[in-house]
Amino acid sequence: MSQAKDALPRASLDKIPLVLIPLIAVAALPLIPSLPTWVTLTIAGLAMGMMIFIMASGLTLVFGLMDVMNFAHGAFITIGAFVATSVLLPLAAWTEADKLWLNLAALLSAILAAMVVAGVLGLAFERVIIKPVYGQHLKQILITMGGLIVAEQSIHVIWGPDIIGLPKPAALRGSFIFGDIAIEKYRVLAVIVGLAVFAAMFGVLNRTRIGLLIRAGVEDSEMVEALGYRIRRIFIGVFVAGSALAGLGGVMWALYQETVSSAMGMQVMILIFIVIIIGGLGSVGGCFIGSLLVGLMANYVGFLAPKIALGSNILLMVLILLWRPQGLYPVAKR
Amino acid sequence: MNNLLALSGVNTRIGHYHILQGVDFVVPQGGLTMLLGRNGAGKTTCLRTIMGLWRASAGRIEFDGADIAGRSTPAVAQLGIGYVPESMGIFAGLTVRENLMLAARAGPLDERRLDWMFGLFPALKKFWQLPAGFLSGGQKQMLAIARAMIEPRKLLLVDEPTKGLAPAIIAHMVEAFRELKRTDTTILLVEQNFHFARALGDTVAVMDSGRIVHSGGMRELAEDEALQHKLLGLSLDAHQ
Ligand SMILES: Nc1ncnc2c1ncn2[C@@H]1O[C@H](COP(=O)(O)OP(=O)(O)O)[C@@H](O)[C@H]1O
Ligand SMILES: [Mg+2]
């Protein structure tokens, strides 16, 4: 036997999509008038990408596992943001205090509350709304759209119809200054939280048995059942975790914009759909890279030609799909 | 001899189609039963119905003394039934090791059983940490079979394991099933390849148009060419 024939095929991560991130950043460099502006925009883009990832990751897994497209996902984002107003505004004494730990305690309480509320509502939503329409795509679209409208109206009833202002905690305002370069503190926090969520997700998916089941289920849920596992239970867990993460993303996004409105979930959903399509439906790694690409694109183009910022992301999606029709990391489906 | 599995009057409908129209056959304990029949006869539908992947609209499926018709797929699998689908159902993005770990519901992989399986399928050892999508068709089939037997199972359902494989690999597969037969596992194997079937089968059931048209010992069918011709037509020669 020849050596070549016996050689092991090498299984390595497909790194080409990773290269796209520095590629976009470098491509933007000559278009932007000054280096400090470019650095600021790049950090802003990465921070925005991380927040989109937090909001989008659950949705891509939910789709991958059970082919459920949940258009109401944005409602959990909005609800997370409103819950944050209910926690942070009464805690103004903490958020305005000059002590970092009090600021962070307030923020953590808001995050915890938002994740619990979004997670519990996610559980109820899955049991009442999604469960009856498994495998029926048209009904899923209609009923989750309906769920979104009901959620928006309920928010109006509970929190009123007006936009609510939500200032950042005192310690997270302003920027770190390095020479000519200003980096907003809150963006640094967003990057840290996003990386932490990605690392945690990566760890669960690749190092635990549940994660193994989720990855297998995304490929072929029927075979997972034939091996003796109840895929529905795994799916419910993923749905609840995805909803809770949407709630977390809602808090982060609300503090980033410092305003909360009942339409905010719907607004970011457009970017989220672009991201999960770019990444490859069901792929968490693809979702992460897609988020960063979309975040960078939104900030560079938003600076150069604000009117076409959204259009540029749609164009990005189209180009990526022309190159890889199943997204950056296609999930092998049965 | 005891029957581990017995189907009686099983009907399965898929959408508007009435596919299984009263299927009756038995799988004796400890033996290898071949389910033969031309393409489209309903063999795959039959295995899927046993696994609960299709719901029988009528009839009984008795396994180990209990009627399992209508139970969910995970519940059926947990009774000790391993399933190798026609598509093999390999998780391409998971490594060989991970594919086997998932199949071992009881927990960590049993080293001795693993060694025994590596003896049957050396390629699995060689490609242990490789995503299964990189395996060749024959290696994938071996992984699919290994996955169904990584823990002792009472019954294995295997759907056309020789489909699309080269003769040398089929010969290897025959050896592996012979070894598996020594372990007391009861097997129901769907085949189109009559030579493969004759080499392994103890008993046989032949399907046509959603019904069983013949059942009995493998040897009688193997020795009766007229009967083979009547039941299986020309398809048996087309496949060797
Ligand atoms: N999902 C399905 N939808 C509709 N008809 C099906 C489906 N699966 C199988 N059939 C039909 O059922 C019959 C039996 O198919 P199958 O059980 O796959 O046969 P075999 O495995 O013996 O080749 C065929 O006529 C096939 O077209
Ligand atoms: Mg078949």
Chain B closest CA to A1's CA: distance in Å? 15
Mean pLDDT of A99-124: 96
> Which pLDDT belongs to residue A191?
96
* pLDDT value for A3: 40
State whether B133 and A331 contact (CB < 8 Å). Answer: no
Q: Which among A317, A240, A230 is positioned nearest to A281, based on CA atoms?
A: A317
Q: Work out how many CB contacts closer than 8 A connect A with B.
A: 70
Q: Do A8 and B147 touch (CB under 8 A)?
A: no
Closest CA to B76 of A60, A189, A225: A225
Measure A170 CA to nearest chain B CA, in Å. 46
Max mean pLDDT among A32-36, A290-294, B102-106 falls in: A290-294
Q: Is A326 on the interface with B (CB under 8 A)?
A: no
Structure confidence at residue B83 as a pLDDT band (50, 70, 90): very high
Lowest-confidence pick of A129-143, A271-285, B85-99: A129-143
CA dihedral A227, A233, A238, A239 (to 10 degrees): 140
| Mean of per-residue pLDDT scores for chain A | 91
Higher confidence at residue A208 or residue B239?
A208
Strands B186-190 and B32-36, sheet pairing: parallel
**Chain A partners within 8 Å of B92 (Cβ):** 219, 332
B184 vs B138, higher pLDDT? B138
User: To the nearest whole angstrom, how far is the Cα of A8 from the nearest Cα of chain B?
Assistant: 7
| CA distance to partner chain A, nearest, from residue B194 (Å) | 27
| Separation of alpha carbons A108 and A100, rounded Å | 12
- Inter-chain touch B91–A8, beta carbons under 8 Å: no
Q: Is A168 on the interface with B (CB under 8 A)?
A: no
**Which chain B residues touch A if contact means CB-CB below 8 Å?**
51, 53, 72-74, 77-78, 83, 85, 87, 89, 91-95, 98, 101-103, 105, 126-127, 129-131, 133-134, 147
Q: What is the mean pLDDT of residues A169-184?
A: 91
Q: Is residue B234 over pLDDT 70?
A: no
Supply the pLDDT for residue A5.
42
Whose CA is closest to atom 12 on ligand 1? B19
Taking only the tens place, the pLDDT of each residue in B24-77 is 999 999 999 999 998 999 999 999 999 999 999 999 999 999 999 999 999 999
Distance of alpha carbon A230 from the chain centroid: 27
Residues with CB under 6 A from ligand 1: B 14-15, 17, 19, 37, 39-45
Position A2 confidence tier, pLDDT thresholds 50, 70, 90: very low
Q: Do B87 and A334 touch (CB under 8 A)?
A: yes
Q: How confident is the model at residue A8 (pLDDT cuts 50, 70, 90)?
A: low
Give the Å distance between the CA of A166 and the centre of ligand 2: 61
Could you tell me the two tokens for A150? 């009901």
Comparing alpha-carbon positions, the chain A residue that sits nearest to B74 is A228
* pLDDT of B239: 45
Q: What is the pLDDT of residues A191-205, one digit of tens each?
A: 999 999 999 999 999
Token readout for A17 is 């999509």
Average pLDDT, chain B: 92
Distance B206 CA to ligand 1 centre (A): 16
Dihedral sign for Cα A135, A136, A141, A146, please: negative
Of the pLDDT bands very low, low, confident and very high (cuts 50, 70, 90), residue A14 is confident
pLDDT, one tens digit per residue, over B192-219 is: 888 899 999 999 999 999 999 999 999 9
User: Looking at chain A, which residue has its C-alpha nearest residue B98?
Assistant: A212
Q: What is the DSSP letter of B26?
A: E
pLDDT in the model for residue B193: 87
- The answer to whether residue A93 neighbours chain B at the CB level (below 8 Å) is no
CB within 8 Å of B169: residues ≥ 6 apart: B138, B141
| pLDDT score of A4 | 40
**Torsion angle (degrees, nearest 10) of CA B96, B102, B108, B113:** -60
Q: B168: distance to nearest CA of chain A, Å?
A: 16
Q: What is the pLDDT of residues A71-87, one digit of tens each?
A: 999 999 999 999 999 99
From the candidates B54, B71, B72, B73, which should be mutated to test the interface with A, based on the most A CB atoms within 10 A? B73
| pLDDT for residue B67 | 96
| Domain range B3-85+153-239, CATH architecture | 3-Layer(aba) Sandwich (3.40)
Q: Is A229 on the interface with B (CB under 8 A)?
A: yes
A334 near B CB under 8 A: yes
Domain ranges of chain B: 3-85+153-239
User: pLDDT (tens digit, 9 = 90+) per residue, A209-257?
Assistant: 999 999 999 899 999 999 999 998 999 999 999 999 999 999 999 999 9
> Does residue A6 register a pLDDT over 60?
no
pLDDT digits (tens, 9 = 90+) for B152-194: 999 999 999 999 899 989 999 999 999 999 888 999 999 988 8
Which ligand 1 atom sits nearest the alpha carbon of residue B45? 17
Best residue in A6, A8, A215, A223 to probe B by mutation, most B CBs within 10 Å?
A: A223
Atom of ligand 1 nearest to the CA of B43: 22
A104/B contact by beta carbon, under 8 A? no
- Say how many Å lie between the CA of residue B84 and the centre of ligand 2: 12
Which pLDDT value is given to residue B48?
98
Query: Taking every pair of C-alpha atoms in chain A, what is the biggest distance, in angstroms?
Result: 76
Residue type at A29?
Answer: L
pLDDT attached to residue A15: 85
